[in-house]
Amino acid sequence: MKSYYRIILISYFITLSVVTKNTFAQTGWEVCSQGKTNNQNYSPNYSMITPHNPFNVVHYKLYFDLYNNFLTPFPRSFNASEVVTFRVDTALSSIHLDAVNTSLTIDSVGLSAISFTHTNNNINIQLDNMYQPDDTVSVKIFYRHLNVSDQAFYVGNGFVFTTNAPEGARKWFPCVDHPSDKATFELIAKFPSTVKFGSNGRLADSVQIADTIYHHWISRDPIATYLMTLSGKVNYNLDILYWQNPFSPGDSIPVRFYWNTGENISNLNNIKTQIMPMMTHYSNLFGEYPFEKNGFATLNNLFPWGGMEDQSLIHLCPNCWDEALVAHEFGHQWFGDLISPATWSDVWLNEGFATYCEALWLEYTNGYSAYKQEINIHAQNYFGGNPGWPIYNPSWSVVTPGINTLYNFAITYVKGSCVLHMLRYVVGDSLFFEILHSYASDPIYKYDIVNTSILNDKVNSVTGEDYDWFFDQWVYSPNHPVYQNTYSFSGSNMDWDVALTINQTQQNTVFFEMPVEIKIKFFDLTDTTFIAMNDTNNRLFSFHFNKQPTELVFDPNNEIVLKISNTVLVSANEDENIPSEFILEQNYPNPFNPNTIIRYQLPETGFVTLKVFDVLGNEVAALVNEEKTAGSYEIEFNSHSDESQNLPAGRQGLSSGIYFYQLKVENKFIETKKLVLMK
Ligand SMILES: [Zn+2]
């Protein structure tokens, strides 16, 4: 599913010779259609009973008389009957189905059903027996859809269509309206013969009698109820192409295009052209296209979304033959449709993956830089709209939240996509694509349901390593790392050290353990890049080089796309870090009168003396004479004082001339430098 959205972003990437600073300032928002903001396909009460049913629906067979809905005055009411077949898990003599009272009136029940009540959006059906585990039972329900606008069954101007996500199916047929209870689906419907009509699965049969036509659609593959659909229109345009299945030579899969007269034909033709390599490419990435047909239908302005990934019949907004939108919705055929979310807490497994598919398609058509540019835009959209909750919210599995929360663009869509990019960065391309393929085509889960821990387990099993920490940080915890890094260079000639402290300052989430690329540029215009594992906060990384470094770039390729980062060069003596070597610096100022500063660094604790001598070797001052811990120090030398500087008795001050100062660390280091007093 995808909304309309627009992006405005302003990004600055400032690179100076000694300071690297990434400053992001952006805003992103969704322009929601009227239908989206008014979408009422959820209610906090709806989901309370569905996940724990003692039975599992295996098949829905619907009989709809939609003849009048296509004719003026376009009523929303229709007569229907339905056979629900279910397998018993726990002995039972009654069942509950979801059915919204304001949309549906139940007239009678049959087959194994003997009576019913319909209150609080639930039908309680009494069965004719106590049924035992593994029994298969069918009930028949005769009902009417009322002439109401319910944001699920849409009628308008020759159009009839449905859109369910997340919980609208119960407004047009009684069902167990939860994504974990997938079932096969069958629809026999009656229309005027001028209507072209589509549904899930394949068109099994069409019978025309005078001005009336009956279509019989069957999906052999199980579908989550939010993906069950129908759409039809008087004088709809319908083109059928065929994808030659490279995995099964000689086999082809129909691709249906339902479209409205007046739409942009060149955009439509582009999709007709691109869908063939897209089907092949996605099949290569995720496993062979899993359904018996593929299809797209543009609807009218009543449709509340940009697109909806109804299984094997994707719905699009009018004239929306947009390649990115199609890349997204078609990705859902695996992520959401083939493997459906066990609960709504797992909705990011749909939307994060489908959003990531947009970038993958760009990578296929335009190369890696186009992919990465798209991921960067996803990150900008996250920063523009991050509401501060995590991707995975356990409570959503109990009470389905409002759609602006469940389908929050910044979290469920683009943060999910960025997390997949960072997973790719962390495990590497080869393992990442192996994970994608194995996850999407695992025979244990396909045509069934998945959850976030199944994905986590898949990452662990494919890589042979434990990536729970990655999920804990990026999926189960909110927000993102904020880096305030410092680095310093020290050394001379062919002996240089780089000290980098990676520091995360965020207070609103956990510490983010991540491998970080570090790029060092040198005075000779060469550079080198390596990876530092930032596994504890405030960790100091030290690197040694045989040429002078001029710049350090933190995460030069912006692989950790969800971060705020500032990396600053500090001079060695301002750096509070432990120095990497003994250093005695030249005093400053020099020549001096009467005061000068002497700085020195100790990489370890030692007994330190710092003394000043005249040219004859006489000690004229002892500035330090004690044990010092590792660190950077400075001391002021005053040529006048004979008290604080511990001058020999009787000496009131030094005369102009050359002197020497010597730093000595017992058994470890000694160095002497010259200083000039000029009165
Ligand atoms: Zn989507």
In this structure, the answer to whether residues 519 and 531 fall within a common structural domain is: yes
Question: Is residue 271 domain-shared with residue 131, that is, in the same domain?
Answer: no
Position 37 confidence tier, pLDDT thresholds 50, 70, 90: very low
Residue 339 counted as domain residue: no
Interface confidence, given as ipTM, is 1.00
Q: Which of 574, 606, 637 is the last residue of a domain?
A: 574
Amino acid present at 189:
A
**pLDDT on residue 604:** 83
Picking from 200, 234, 268, the residue at the C-terminal end of a domain is 234
pLDDT of residue 635: 85
Instruction: Give 30 Cα–ligand 1 centroid separation in angstroms.
Output: 14
Q: What is the CATH number of the domain that holds 67?
A: 2.60.40.1730
The tokens describing 33, both together, are 């259609």
**Rounded to the nearest whole angstrom, what is the distance from the C-alpha of residue 2 to the centroid of ligand 1?**
5
pLDDT of 8 reads 28
Neighbours of 300 (CB within 10 A): 15
CA of 331 to the centre of ligand 1 (A): 8
HSE of 55 in the Cβ direction (CA atoms, 13 Å)?
26
Coil, strand or helix at 524 = coil
Residue 313 is part of which domain span? 236-324
Separation of CA 411 and ligand 1 centre (Å): 13
CATH number, domain at 626? Answer: 2.60.40.1930
- How many Å lie between the centroid of ligand 1 and the Cα of residue 226? 13
* CB proximity list for 201: less than 8 A, separation 6 or greater: 185, 186, 217, 218, 219, 220, 221, 291, 292, 293, 312
Same domain, 398 and 459: yes
- pLDDT-derived band at 51 (thresholds 50, 70, 90) equals low
Residue 414 lies in a domain: yes
The Cα 261–Cα 72 span in angstroms is 20
Residues 73 and 177 in one domain: yes
Whether residues 250 and 320 fall in one domain:
yes
What distance in angstroms lies between residue 406's CA and the mean position of ligand 1's atoms?
12
Write down the mean pLDDT value for the chain: 90
Question: Residue 477 Cα, ligand 1 centroid: separation in angstroms?
Answer: 22
pLDDT at 171 over 90: yes
Q: How far is the centre of ligand 1, averaged over its atoms, from the C-alpha of 407 (Å)? A: 9
With 60 as the cut, is the pLDDT of residue 575 above it? no
CA of 325 to the centre of ligand 1 (A): 9
User: For 429-467, what is each residue's pLDDT tens digit?
Assistant: 999 999 999 999 999 999 999 999 999 999 999 999 999
CA of 404 to the centre of ligand 1 (A): 14
- Residue 352 C-alpha to ligand 1 middle, in angstroms? 8
CATH number at residue 304: 3.30.2010.30
CA of 562 to the centre of ligand 1 (A): 21
CA of residue 397 to ligand 1 center, whole Å: 19
55 and 12 in a common domain: no
Residue 255 shares a structural domain with residue 126: no
Most confident of 212-221, 564-573, 658-667, 668-677: 212-221
Distances in Å between the Cα of 307 and the Cα atoms of 4, 33, 360, 375 are: 9, 12, 18, 20
Cα-to-centroid distance, 234 and ligand 1 (Å): 28
Partners of residue 672 on adjacent β-strands: 662
Residues 6 or more apart in contact with residue 424 via CB below 8 angstroms: 432
Q: Which is more confidently placed, 44 or 160?
A: 160
Q: Is 412 left (phi over 0), alpha (psi -120 to 50) or beta?
A: alpha
Q: Distance between CA atoms of 426 and 516, rounded to whole angstroms?
A: 9
* pLDDT value of position 641: 57
> In angstroms, what is the span from residue 589 Cα to ligand 1's centroid?
66
- Same structural domain for residues 552 and 456? no
pLDDT digit string, tens, across residues 505-521: 999 999 999 999 999 99
Tell whether 330 is covered by a domain: no
Angle at 616 between CA 612 and CA 618, to 5 degrees: 45
Do residue 588 and residue 671 come from a single domain?
A: yes
Widest CA span in the chain: 128
Evaluate whether residue 347 is within a structural domain. Answer: no
Residue 4 CA to ligand 1 centre (angstroms): 11
Residue 413 in domain: yes
Calpha distance 244→253 (Å, rounded): 7
- Polymer length in residues for the chain: 679
Q: Which is it for strands 92-98 and 122-131: parallel, antiparallel or unpaired?
A: antiparallel
Report if residue 65 sits inside a domain: yes
Name the phi and psi angles at 313, rounded to 5. Answer: -145, 90
Number of H helices, E strands in the chain: 10, 37
What average pLDDT score do residues 258-262 get? Answer: 97
pLDDT tens string 369-407: 999 999 999 999 999 999 999 999 999 999 999 999 999
> Residue 354 C-alpha to ligand 1 middle, in angstroms?
6
For position 535, which CATH number holds? 2.60.40
The closest alpha carbon to 539, from 501, 574, 565, belongs to 501
Claim to verify: residue 396 and residue 410 sit in the same structural domain: yes
Task: Flag whether 553 is in a domain.
Answer: yes
| Percent of the chain residues topping a pLDDT of 90 | 79
SS3 (DSSP) at 525: coil
Token pair belonging to 150: 């319910």
Residues 207, 75: one domain?
A: yes
Neighbour-count burial of 525, counting CB atoms closer than 10 A to its CB (0-12 exposed, 13-18 middle, 19+ buried): exposed
| Domains contained in the chain, number | 5
Sheet order of strands, 314-316 included: 237-244, 252-259, 294-298, 314-316, 307-308
What is the distance in A from the centroid of ligand 1 to the CA of 306? 9
> Is 356 part of a structural domain of the chain?
no
489 and 450 in a common domain: no
What are the tens digits of pLDDT across the range 126-158? 999 999 999 999 999 999 999 999 999 999 989
Of 423, 446, 474, the residue at which a domain comes to its end is 474
